[in-house]
Amino acid sequence: MSRIAVFGAGGNAGRRAVAQAVARGHQVTAVVREPARHPELAGPGVSVVAGDVTDPMSVTAVSAGHDAVVSTVCRADLPSVEFYSAATRALVAVGHA
């Protein structure tokens, strides 16, 4: 069993990633911007936490102790290049830590 952090767990792809990981026996940390908006994610094998995929400190804190990090993030309310560049930088920084 692995510990997996799923960023963007509140979206369609994120919910599926969480469900698949749990079905395979993994412990999942579902990372969303506002946990209070996603109470349905919590359950056996899943903890829901707040995190910001564009903030390296947030990604580092949330990812600590996990075997894998999955990003399923999508933001339609921000410029794509700006958002995805920041998210990629934060995730890569953790991967090199």
CA distance 5 to 73: 12
Domain that holds residue 45: 3-95
CA distance 66 to 93: 15
CA distance 81 to 15: 24
Q: Can you give the pLDDT at residue 97?
A: 56
Each residue of 12-64: pLDDT tens digit? 999 999 999 999 999 999 999 999 999 999 999 999 999 999 999 999 999 99
CATH code for position 44: 3.40.50.720
CA distance 51 to 33: 5
CA distance 63 to 65: 6
Question: What's the number of domains the chain is made of?
Answer: 1
CB 43 within 8 A of CB 67: no
Is the pTM value of this prediction over 0.85?
yes
Each residue of 50-63: pLDDT tens digit? 999 999 999 999 99
